[in-house]
Amino acid sequence: MTEETIDTTAVAEGTFETSAEALPAERFGLAVPAGLAAALIGAILWAVFVYVTEYQLGLVVVLIGALIGYVIRIVGRGTRPAFGILGAICAAFAWALGTVLTDVAFLAQGAGRPFLEVLNLLGAEETLSLAFQSADVMDIVFLGIAVWEGYKFSFHRIAR
């Protein structure tokens, strides 16, 4: 993926004309729901992938983190690190929610009960506890990479 750059030398010399195409207005207010929606979709995709394949392929989480960051960059048009922080948080949220959904799905399957019934019986605290107990070192490594990708792809870089 290419990153858009802005010639700051032209800006400093006064030869750069600000236009909507060259330097679009940031839209953090739109980036937040877009990032959360991408995280929700990514979490569901992650959970379905793991449930169907019965294999946690960390590369999928990394791709979801990059996708979340890219959605935030396109929608938010940001140039500040605040957009990257939003991307990192959304990527971590997608990993956590996807992990929770996967763990509850496998638990429901093992118990022979419906997914929503098991989710309701566990409650929020037990569900999170289950997810963190099932995480291993490689999960944390891929979570870190996904968070970095979410950060890195969430805002445009300005050439210095």
- Asked if residue 21 belongs to a domain, the reply is no
Q: pLDDT category, 123, cuts 50, 70, 90? A: confident
- Asked if residue 143 belongs to a domain, the reply is yes
In this prediction the pTM is 0.80
- Asked if residue 15 belongs to a domain, the reply is no
Q: In which domain, by residue range, is 120 found?
A: 28-152
- Asked if residue 3 belongs to a domain, the reply is no
Token representation of residue 24: 């679009």
Q: What is the pLDDT of residues 14-25, one digit of tens each?
A: 443 434 455 578
Q: If we measure between CA atoms, which residue out of 66, 84, 85, 61 comes closest to residue 154? A: 84
Q: pLDDT category, 132, cuts 50, 70, 90? A: confident
- Asked if residue 46 belongs to a domain, the reply is yes
Q: What is the pLDDT of residues 21-67, one digit of tens each?
A: 555 789 999 999 999 999 999 999 999 999 999 998 889 999 999 99
Domain total in the chain:
1
- Asked if residue 134 belongs to a domain, the reply is yes
Q: What is the pLDDT of residue 106?
A: 93
Size of the chain, expressed as the number of residues it contains: 160
Element (H, E) at 111: helix 81-111
Q: What is the pLDDT of residue 139?
A: 87
Token representation of residue 7: 């010639």
Rounded CA-CA distance 95/89 in Å is 10
